[in-house]
Structure formats: structure tokens, C-alpha cells
Structure 1
């Protein structure tokens, strides 16, 4: 039998831990019966690992965020989520936590301070950093706690999360559930360090390896670690040694596990051993443990009866589409301030002013990015900000885009807004998963907003080569849940950035580097928003429509000035997701001939989607095929002459002539 250390805990606390520990085990045993009966479709079992989830959850305060994974049922039950509601979730019922849009443990509940996981396991750890940062900024005296398995420690997000937590001195607890296998891959094929806790030393944080099957050790350790994190405002890594007695999921089986391991770990069962110890210590009697077991089994049956009462799913496309985004209404429209004082600003200065006014307006806004503090950012947009707003709100980051985007999402859980600056839009690829799988989907999945703006210095024309000049907006336009904006004027640059920061949804904000210091225009001094999803009519004409955005607007205007004999209609989309279809249709109706112009490469660019929509919805007004003018389908070359040939601008006149020839 395992040796338990009471450490001054009262009988009532010991009994409470027993009830908490037994409850998820009995639920799981019932779920496995229902699985065999075909009444549920899938199950990830945590049998044998319950002490970790239960002990850790019991050691925290109710309002401290927890970031669980598949095998952490004890977190959900420990936070008081009713079984009937959990069962509805596992069944994919519409009255479950995620309205039938998720199953298993891929959901969260802000009311219970539990954040839903995604299948890419590492990102959860980085979100915990954001929640811990929020607590630190508020002086709230709270920690955040995130789980990972031994397999997840090989993911980049694990290492990024630990590094950021250490560098920023965040009160966050990272728990590794080392159960010996990542699905079927044993630990001897996963890492070479003696213990995974040893990795903490490399990041400058304290760490410990404990017996994850000992409920009292887990509870006492996490309580102590929590106190340490709060007192020292530092992170801590805890490795819990354990074993899962079932497969990765039930369909996976366990044939890859040596039989003797099951025999060894069966002797270390966290519930059987704890119950035996309680009986031997006289804390509880056999009648009491039997009564608790019977009572919980009866409660399970009653809760399941409620859980099976869900109505059939009612399918509504309108409801599905409406829930992709958190609701938002523009409060400070541009039209209210257009008659107020305006002065000429460069494109880059309009962006900087938008950030300053937003920092003044939202005291809960945090700016993050590489070199944005004392250095002022690669393009000096945040120069002087750290002196005005302090290092807590203007934060230099390590070179780990995924971790910082995850931290931004974690800040949202606690009501903060954040702006993350990509040094170049090209670098966003290493944070792509967080954007398209975490930020974009979280509101649709369980109603949590992602109040994050990612600024993306983009585009060519500055001789920066293939890794600093890409136009990658099409990557994100394909992702429901994101908003994508791309201003072309200083007035819109300011208004769209303010609108993006005010919006509770994740916004990808593209800003063309070549426009920073080459374009100037009138910008109102007031605080205002340009509504996301509304295009701007640059020029009204009747002969040919050029529908474009970003630098393409200036190419089109220059072409119009050189060819006054052509009555061009120029539409600046400004927002790429959502698109202003009414403005697009109106332009098509005016001219009957449409040229779609963008700096992005041709294949897979947004021009293809626009052409398809126009052909499907505006065919009756077309007098010629919709044509596209885009950059070459090559990486962006470095040499100036090669780059000019690459850019769509070099072929604009040719495409206009072809279109006018119809």
C-alpha cells in the first residue's frame, strides 16, 4: 500500500478529497459501460490518473483559471460542473456547453474558469501565461494552471510557454502528467532527459517530480507551489508520475503496453490505496465509504436520466453563422468626426496615433511584440510608448510568436485587450496554429471572445526579399471567426485600427510597409472608428471597375490619373473578411467590366473568391469575363528590377487593355 502523509489535514478535508476522487472514477466506469452499449461515441479515459486533476483543482481557488486536456475529468467535476450538463456535452447535444459544436473535453466555461482545449495540445500552456499575466497586472493574487502530457512536452509551444513565463515572471503552474505514453509512443522514444521536470532548470524555473497517484502529495504540492508562485511571482513546473490504465482513447486499445506494467500500476491505484489508508487510519469506516459510493452511483443514474432528455438538434444556418463572431456595434463612427479638425499625417503616424488613443481609451489594453518597447518596434511605430505607458503595458517579447499570440488569448479570458505586433507579416507563420485554431474558433466553440489584434507589416516594393515582403492575407480570409482588414489611407489606417481594438473578435490588421512614409492624408484628431466590413468608393465611373485594396488602391489611382480617357470606377475593399458585397455588386452594376487587383500572388489569392462571387451573383450585369491582375506565382525576389516585374502593378495596363477590348 502507498504511504500517505497527512500533513495536518482535518478528517473533513481528507473525506472531501475522497469524495472528489471517487466521483470522476465512478462517472468514467459508467461511461465505459455506455460506450460498450453504443450510447456514447468516444471516450478518453483518465482512470488511474484521477489524483492529479482532483488534487490540483482542489488546491486552487475557484476563480483561478485551469487549462485541462483530455484526461482531466477531475477538473470539470472539481469545479462543480453538473454531470447531466457534462453528459449533454459528451453526447454533442445542442444544450451542452458548446451547443453541439464540440464533443469530449474540447470546451470551456468562463463561469467555472475552465478553458477549453484544442487538439493541438501545446497551445493550452501559452494561454495560461496570458491568464497569469492578467492576474499579475491586476494584482489579483491568483495563479493559472495548465496541464500537458509527456508527449506534449515535445511541442514547441511547451518550450515557448515555459520561456515566456520565466522571462515575464508569471504566477503560472505547469503540470506534466507523465503516464509513460504519448498515445502509443513510450517515453524512451520521446525524450532523453532523466525527468521532464529537469527541463524547468533550463528556463530558470523551479521544478519538482512527484507521485501523481498520491492524492495528498498532489494536493499538498500544488498548494505549496501556488503559495510560491504568488509570493515570488514566478512560474513552477510539476511533473506527476502516473499511468493510464486504458488506451489513449478506447478505440486505440492497449496492446502496445507490456502486461506487467498494468499489474504494477494496478497496485498503485490512487482510489483503492487512498480508501484503504482512510480505513486504516480510522478517518472513515467501511459503512461510510460504501454509503458514499452508493450515493454517488445513484446520483450518476439520476444525472444521466436528465442528460438523456435533450431535444433533437435543431439545425439553423442563420444561428450557426451568427455565433461565429461575438456581437459588436461601432460606437464612434468616422462620420461623427469628419467635420472636426483634421491635419495631414503619414500612414505610419496615423497607426501610431490610433495606438496611443486606444491606450488612453482602454486602460486594459496591452501591447506585445519583438522590440516594441524601448526600441519602438522595427518601424518605430511604438516609439516613446514605453515611457508613457510603462513596461507592463508595452511588452517586449521573446522570439516566440505562438506563445505570445496564445498569451494574448489568455488575457482575453480575464477581460483584457491586446495588440500583438508581428515584426513582419511573414513571421506569422510560426504563430499560425494559435490564430486559425484557437483565436478564430473559440467564440463559436464555447462563447469565449478573443479580444486580440495582430498587426501585420506586409507587402513588397521595398527590396526586402522573400521572407520580409510576402502578401499573406489570403491565408486568413479562409478562416471563419477572424476579421481581416487592410487600409490604404492614413484616415482608414487610424479608424480601422481603433475599430479593430474595440472589436471583441480577433482581427488581423494588415499595414503595407511601402505606404508607411510615402503616403500622407487628412486624419481627424478625434477618436473614431472606420466600420469593419465596409468598402470605400475611391472613384465613381461607368466604363471599368477596379476592385482592390492596400497598395493596389494607389496603383489604380495612379493609373487613372495617367489615363483620364478611361472612366474608371475604383473600389477600396478595406475589409477582406467580412467583405462588403453590396459595394462590390454596385460597382459591377455601374460598369459591367471588372478587374480584380491585388499584390498577392494569383493562385489562391482573394481575387479568385471575388471573381467566383461576382460570376455567381452579378452575372446578368457583366459585359466581359471578370479578370484578375496579381503578382507572379513566385516567391518575392530581392533585386529591385525583379521585384518590380513580380508585382501586379507591372501588368495593370495590359490587363485593363484586354478587358476594355471585350
Structure 2
């Protein structure tokens, strides 16, 4: 194995050796503790240390790295406390994620490390967002994301590389090609001869290196960084290595031909680098032994201290409090200020405009939102006013753009992502429910991202442009879900969403865009997320609803003035305003939960169950639900009308009244 020393001093070479050796010795200790039952799982990177260590050494300490399971060398080279790392591996509350995550599924802002989730592709898109933030700040920094050869089969790999190329982002995508995805060999993963060949297809530079050669990795990352910054382009690197142990220890390596293991054992990165330093007479057997014994003693001392620590007791309060980052209190509109009539769509556009003025770190992203103004023209003219850097057309890759939004948040930016239609959010589902929603709970990182979702039926758009899919997300702790029904609430809740550091899904009903108008304050104001609004007091029946259902209920109340209807607009679906729901039950004793979404598993199911559990003594009749049919939303006008809950409202209300 040939080592290119270049400009590296003797002292640096010896330091590199210690950095390379240290994670190997930590791993050997962990394997011993695993057999003793003191850790429960381990993903070994033995034989692959040169990639993690070399890449980390080549970057500045404040450049973000997004590692994977087998990149212990990233964490140790960034000087993370072994005691706290061991607490992390034990699942102790004293670990970096307070016992909420396993192994390396965590991050640390202090060390500029963003931890993975088990879905191997999403960290690549987060790196796009981090690099975009550097670009917007005019900073000479790169982001580096690891993936494995198996991870290159995931759709997010292709989305992330495409976005980075189209937006000219300084990202280094580093593939650790270690031969196997769990037990699946590379010949069953892809058909190209080399993964680096994919770089050409995305219009970026590609490099293929020996991942077991520490200095080759180091120089390659240095060169990739130089190119990424000078040319403002991403770089794809394929580092060839081998996984010498199982995917995790329990899986073993029986599927690997013994000859292959023997061949790669001869390529051990530590033994080769030791030999190089011995050739330079920087090391001899005595020095190697002393360094190993010294590092082993340090490791033993840290593990002993960690094992002696007492973990704090489990606290339900602490668990619940860490789901969300604290949000600012609501700001009501100033009194006696003009509130001209505005359409629903114009109120949203005005709110976006004011948010862009108030937050210079806010970036809007979405398909066709720049010059075209979006499918519904809500951002028309924005790119001229605020510039294309902040109003960005995106490729058709919802998942990568949501991931990029999270990357921007890590760098202190706010982002708004417009789904062209709420239906398309399914393509970004993983990023929302597993990354945005959980990241604050996992390691205290906020996801300051607003996703706007034009939703709902009644406009003849058919099964793929008409869904009310808000219930998909109300089951996910860490998200906030709002669904306004009036122009004033649309603006106030949208501004509240931008002020909130947590991920907010903002549903806006397409049929209301140009059909509903109302007074909207010209000033900046916010409406508390999680606070319902009493639309109308009544004594006979309570209708709990949101979105289009509010207008259906009001229309019905006008048609049947003899029924005293109590109408509650939830406005926020996560969190729910249970106090207002209880008051609505108490007002009449008869409750209809009304929504456009399909019946089974809709938001009404949760509300009905909560009322039955907490308000049973206040009821004079069973809680009823009136919702869309359990079918896709049909295209034909009569079929769509039949689908909507509005056609069954009268029957439900009369049934409740007669109970």
C-alpha cells in the first residue's frame, strides 16, 4: 500500500496514527463488553477506520459531518467524550440522546455531527440543506455525508445528488463500499461496474479511492473540498473497503467466503499505516506497544467511570417536554387597525410576504414557485422581490427538499416547502415523520420547517389531487398540524408557524382559496397553535370541525335556524384544544364530529374516543362522526359530491336531534 505523505509533518503523522488506532481499540473493548452483556448491540467498523478518521481529519472542526453506523472514527476524531459515548451505547439517560436512541443515531451541535436515522438515505439530503446554508451565508465550508453501497439504491440517494448538482452545492457524498448490505453482496445491489460512475450522470466530479489507506482518504477529501468550494459543485467519492465483521455482531459473517475475509485482512488500514511510520522511523515496536497500552488505559478508565455513574430516574414530564422546542406566545393584531376584506388565498400570500420581510433567514422552496408563482399563484412575484436565492424552484423530489429544509434549520435558517398538492407529500413521508418530527426529542435539534399543503376535494381534481390527508400526521409526536378555515386564521396561523421552531404542517383547502373572503388585519399577528375557536354558541347540538367543515356547518345553521348549533373550529389538529372540545360537549350534550377526510382513522376517531373517555357524563347521546366515504376521492362531479360528508350532514344531525 503506497502512502503519499505530501506536506504532512512528522508530528501530524503520529497524531493521525493515534486517531486511527483509538477507534479500533474502543471497538475491541466494546466487543468484550458486548459478550459480557454490558452493551446490547454493536455495529462494527473494524477494518474501515481509515475512511471515517481520514475524512474527519481533512475537514475543519466546524464543518458538518453526517455519519453512519460504522463511523466511530468520526466521533472520536471530533474529540467526543468516550464516557458519554458509552452512556449512549448503553441507552443511558446520560448519553447524548438521553437514552432515547441507540448507537450512532444522534447528533451534537457542539461537534458539528448530525446523526443518522435507520433509513440510510435521508442524511444525504440534510447535507444539501447545510451546504445551501453555507452558500447563502457566503461561507467557505462544505458538508460531508456518508452512505454505504447499499444506501445508493435508495431513492433519496438519487434525489440528494440531483438537488446538490442542480443547485451547485458544496457537498461531499462519501460512499463506503464495504462489499455487503447486511448479507446482500454488491452484485445484487447494482449493475454498474463502479458506483463512482454515477457521478457523471449527475454532472458532478467523481473519485474512487482505497478506503483502507488513511492518507489517500485524507488527500481525496482535501481535494474534494477544494473542488467543491472553488467550482461550487458537489463531489461523489467511492471509498473501497470491506466489512470484516457482521452487519451487527449478532448477524455474523457466515455468508462471506473465507478467502475474501483473508484477502481483506491483509489490507488492514492500521497495520499498513504502522508499517509506513516504521519505514519513516517514526515508530518502532516499542513505541507501538507504548501507544497501544496508553490508549487502552485511557479507554479502560473512561469505561470504568461510565459504568460507575448513576443514571437519573425516568420522568414522564421530561419525556413529554422534549417533544417540542418552546414556542413564542401569540401576538394578537393591534387594536383599531385596518382589516380589509381578503380572499383566503390572498391572506396566505400576504402572510408569506410578511414572513419573508420579518425573517431574512427564511427560504421558500417548491416546484414552480419562483417566476411561475406556484400552481395556485400564491408566490407570484416573490422571486423578483426577494431573489431566487430565497425563492427556489426545486426538482421533483419532495423528500430531498424536505431533508434540505432540515439541513437549513440545523444552520439557523427557516424554510417553507410548498407541496404542489397535499397528495404529493407521500413522497416525502419518511423525512417528515422520522426526521423532522423526532429530531428535537432525539438530540435537541430544532426542525424550523413549515410545509404548506393545498388539500381537499370539491374542485373536480380526482384521486391524486384531492385528498385530505391530515390524519396521516396527527399520530406523529413532534409535528404540529394546522388547518385554518378563514382568511384571518390562515394568515395568523401561518405567521405562527413561521415563528414556531418546530415542524408545522399547514393545510390549506383549495376550494376555499378564491371562494371565501373575510377581514384580515394588515399588521403582523399570530394565532396560538393548538387553540380552537368558537364560531357560534348553541344549546341543541355541538359540531366540532375544521377546514371546509366549518363552512358546511355555518351554511346548515343558516338553513335550519330552529336548531341552536354550537360550532367549534379546531383550527389546530396537533396539538388539539381539549379544553375547548370539553366545553363544546358540555354546551349541548350532543356532539357531531365533522370532517372532509375519510371516516376510518380520521381525526374524528381520536376526538370521539377522547370525548367518550373524558366527557362521558356530559353526553346525552353517542358521539357521531360525519366524514368522507372510505373511498379515494372520485373525479366525476356527482361522485365527488356523494363522497363528501356534506351530503350526509342532515341525516346525522337529525339522528342526533332525535336521540
Structure 1 stretches (4+) deviating beyond 4 angstroms?
Answer: none
**Partner Cα distance (1:283, 1:77) in 2:** 23
**Partner Cα distance (1:200, 1:589) in 2:** 63
Structure 1 residue 329 displacement after superposition: 2.0
* Residue in 2 that maps onto 1:389: 386
Structure 1 residue 151 displacement after superposition: 0.3
**Partner Cα distance (1:198, 1:87) in 2:** 39
**Partner Cα distance (2:7, 2:113) in 1:** 29
Structure 1 residue 280 displacement after superposition: 1.3
> Is the partner of 2:353 in helix, strand or coil?
helix
* Residue in 1 that maps onto 2:82: 83
Structure 1 residue 584 displacement after superposition: 0.5
Is contact 1:338–1:524 with CA below 8 Å preserved after alignment? no
* Residue in 1 that maps onto 2:124: 125
Structure 1 residue 309 displacement after superposition: 2.5
* Residue in 2 that maps onto 1:212: 211
Structure 1 residue 276 displacement after superposition: 1.1
Q: Find out whether 1:268 has 2:267 as its counterpart.
A: yes
**Partner Cα distance (2:335, 2:599) in 1:** 37
* Residue in 2 that maps onto 1:624: 621
**Partner Cα distance (1:656, 1:469) in 2:** 26
Is contact 1:157–1:403 with CA below 8 Å preserved after alignment? yes
Q: Find out whether 1:333 has 2:331 as its counterpart.
A: yes
* Residue in 2 that maps onto 1:468: 465
Q: Find out whether 1:609 has 2:609 as its counterpart.
A: no
**Partner Cα distance (2:309, 2:481) in 1:** 37
* Residue in 1 that maps onto 2:6: 7
Q: Find out whether 1:446 has 2:448 as its counterpart.
A: no
> Is the partner of 2:31 in helix, strand or coil?
helix
**Partner Cα distance (1:349, 1:265) in 2:** 64
Q: Find out whether 1:180 has 2:175 as its counterpart.
A: no
**Partner Cα distance (1:342, 1:483) in 2:** 28
Q: Find out whether 1:599 has 2:596 as its counterpart.
A: yes
Once superposed, what is the RMSD of the aligned Cα atoms?
Answer: 0.8
Structure 1 residue 181 displacement after superposition: 0.3
Q: Find out whether 1:287 has 2:286 as its counterpart.
A: yes
1:146-295 alignment to 2 at 5 Å? 146-295=145-294
Structure 1 residue 244 displacement after superposition: 1.1
Structure 1 residue 178 displacement after superposition: 0.2
Q: Which runs of 5+ in 2 are unaligned?
A: none
**Partner Cα distance (2:308, 2:230) in 1:** 48
**Partner Cα distance (2:463, 2:149) in 1:** 37
* Residue in 1 that maps onto 2:640: 643
Q: Find out whether 1:480 has 2:489 as its counterpart.
A: no
Structure 1 residue 468 displacement after superposition: 0.1
Between 152-161 and 278-287, report the one with greater CA deviation.
Answer: 278-287
> Is the partner of 1:308 in helix, strand or coil?
helix
**Partner Cα distance (2:78, 2:84) in 1:** 13
Structure 1 residue 5 displacement after superposition: 1.6
Structure 1 residue 313 displacement after superposition: 4.7
**Partner Cα distance (1:123, 1:401) in 2:** 12
Is contact 2:328–2:499 with CA below 8 Å preserved after alignment? no
Is contact 1:107–1:446 with CA below 8 Å preserved after alignment? yes
Structure 1 residue 286 displacement after superposition: 2.9
Is contact 1:93–1:310 with CA below 8 Å preserved after alignment? no
Cα deviation, 1:307-333, whole Å, max 9, x if unaligned, reads 112324512111111100011122x52
**Partner Cα distance (1:595, 1:510) in 2:** 22
Is contact 2:448–2:501 with CA below 8 Å preserved after alignment? yes
**Partner Cα distance (1:284, 1:311) in 2:** 41
TM-score by length of structure 2 reads 0.99
**Partner Cα distance (2:231, 2:654) in 1:** 69
Is contact 2:423–2:469 with CA below 8 Å preserved after alignment? yes
Structure 1 residue 656 displacement after superposition: 0.2
Cα deviation, 1:136-181, whole Å, max 9, x if unaligned, reads 0001111000000000000000000000000000000000000000
Is contact 2:94–2:311 with CA below 8 Å preserved after alignment? no
Structure 1 residue 339 displacement after superposition: 3.0
Is contact 1:134–1:414 with CA below 8 Å preserved after alignment? yes
Is contact 1:88–1:310 with CA below 8 Å preserved after alignment? no
Is contact 1:79–1:112 with CA below 8 Å preserved after alignment? yes
Q: Which runs of 5+ in 1 are unaligned?
A: none
2:521 to 511, 521, 524: 524
Q: Find out whether 1:534 has 2:531 as its counterpart.
A: yes
> Is the partner of 1:595 in helix, strand or coil?
strand
Structure 1 residue 338 displacement after superposition: 4.5
Structure 1 residue 67 displacement after superposition: 0.3
